[in-house]
Structure 1
């Protein structure tokens, strides 16, 4: 038997999955804590009868507190609880397809060198799309990066990095990332779990995403901006350390930080500029 129940939603009526319902008694002691399911529904175990304080919270939303009356059977109903975005939250992009603009998007990889400096590589060719869903957290994305477009500023090193000893761009010409959802972590931040395919290896990867907003551009289109970052481990993608040494970046760290600054244009394709 359930105790206190509620449905947690946005003002537009969409469920807030992973919202948290916390119940405390009048002495301030926590007596229940449950997480909403994909429909925004929450239900505690039976609770002590009487008046308690129920607080609904979710990342990126203002908390809502209510008094919960629990019956002698240990049950109670809060009904629908509406959460509003925190002040300063940026308006989300309209639903539908959005296409990555490669001219205004960059992918940077940074590795530590000798523990005191950094080596940076830019991938100059990135493409893909984002399908923004009515519920933003259900949006999906695809990014494709041309492995051969790596550029560290040293042509000899770049050629070695493209060789079979390292990225093997002929055998694995495209680096791909795909995702089918996001988890909100703040007013304008999300985690985007997905799958990265690099050097023939498939690994789960979480991107920390910051949304910059959307607006009209000078070419008659509508654009949205995102920054995303993650940390990769070379060993996860079968990158041979000896190949790294021969490529002229000896004493490189085992982790590589990835930063993506992505602009997307509303629609199935890019407009002519």
Structure 2
């Protein structure tokens, strides 16, 4: 007999201080359990079969209520409960936001040999987000990435990626992205339409963006968090190098998955820390 749940933030982190309360049909509390360091809740209290209300709370987060059914065996599986930061905004306040590179990641994933993935990231980049005051769909983002800052954890591979076969950093030192429109795809999700310039070639690229929330930081500022993904075809940017190792299997996949985890600070200046 047990109740189980997993408590997460909107970007997938465990909420280790969450509290789960179970009330019966009369509103009487019958169980109270705390999450562990991994955000897991497991309580072995015996419960009578029936319908219950689950209330999940945590300091700094808005409470969430959900229904749960306890089976004849006394078992109830709540599943993943997602908490949103309390005191944040439903949308980022309008105005300029500066991406904090120390707390953001610009990554890319490529398939290797058809069976695994190789991950890399760019360590030198800057971006500004302008949230429109009239309608968020008129917002825009401008980003610049130093192409030679690619880091996959392997020096030989990184040197090859900087060569003419791939990024050609000697001739094209910067990668830029400029958006021109947003299309809503949910209450906190958008498709960002823009143009990516890489190796001197300009191609339309859509970013699939999720807004994770806004809150105060320890330095007296306001931060907003975002996650975005995109898929690029290497041939669109004249990166045609490859090796066929066997039976038509390419050493490197033809597509790249871009993964962005971004913190942006309201205003045009970043904190010292």
Q: After TM superposition, is the score higher than 0.5?
A: yes
Q: Does the CA-based 8 Å contact 1:227-1:261 persist in structure 2?
A: yes
Structure 1 unaligned blocks of 5 or more? 1-87
Name the counterpart of 2:261: 261
- Residues 242, 170 of structure 1: alpha-carbon distance in 2 compared, 3 angstrom cutoff: same
Matched residues in 1 for 2:266 and 2:223: separation?
6
Name the counterpart of 1:131: 130
Name the counterpart of 2:111: 112
Secondary structure of residue in 2 paired with 1:120: strand
TM-score, normalization: structure 1? 0.64
Secondary structure of residue in 1 paired with 2:178: strand
Once the two structures are superposed, residues 1-57 of structure 1 have per-residue CA deviations (whole angstroms, 9 ceiling, x without a partner) of xxxxxxxxxxxxxxxxxxxxxxxxxxxxxxxxxxxxxxxxxxxxxxxxxxxxxxxxx
Q: Summarize the alignment of residues 20-35 of structure 1 with structure 2, pairs less than 5 Å apart.
A: none
Once the two structures are superposed, residues 158-212 of structure 1 have per-residue CA deviations (whole angstroms, 9 ceiling, x without a partner) of 1111122321112111111101321110121100000000111100011000000
Name the counterpart of 2:178: 178
Name the counterpart of 2:236: 236
Shift in Å, 1:99: 0.4
Shift in Å, 1:114: 1.7
Once the two structures are superposed, residues 95-116 of structure 1 have per-residue CA deviations (whole angstroms, 9 ceiling, x without a partner) of 1000010101101111111221
Matched residues in 2 for 1:122 and 1:261: separation?
11
Structure 2 unaligned blocks of 5 or more? 1-83
Once the two structures are superposed, residues 217-272 of structure 1 have per-residue CA deviations (whole angstroms, 9 ceiling, x without a partner) of 00111100111101000000000224899xxxx61110110001111100012122
Q: Does the CA-based 8 Å contact 1:145-1:174 persist in structure 2?
A: yes
Name the counterpart of 1:147: 147
Secondary structure of residue in 2 paired with 1:182: strand
Name the counterpart of 2:196: 196
Q: Does the CA-based 8 Å contact 1:229-1:257 persist in structure 2?
A: yes
Once the two structures are superposed, residues 140-167 of structure 1 have per-residue CA deviations (whole angstroms, 9 ceiling, x without a partner) of 1111111111011110111111122321
CA RMSD across the alignment: 2.1
Once the two structures are superposed, residues 48-91 of structure 1 have per-residue CA deviations (whole angstroms, 9 ceiling, x without a partner) of xxxxxxxxxxxxxxxxxxxxxxxxxxxxxxxxxxxxxxxx8961
Secondary structure of residue in 2 paired with 1:137: helix
- Residues 207, 215 of structure 1: alpha-carbon distance in 2 compared, 3 angstrom cutoff: same
Q: How many residues are treated as equivalent by the alignment?
A: 183
Matched residues in 1 for 2:202 and 2:253: separation?
21
Name the counterpart of 2:272: 272
Q: Does the CA-based 8 Å contact 2:243-2:251 persist in structure 1?
A: no
Q: Does the CA-based 8 Å contact 1:144-1:174 persist in structure 2?
A: yes
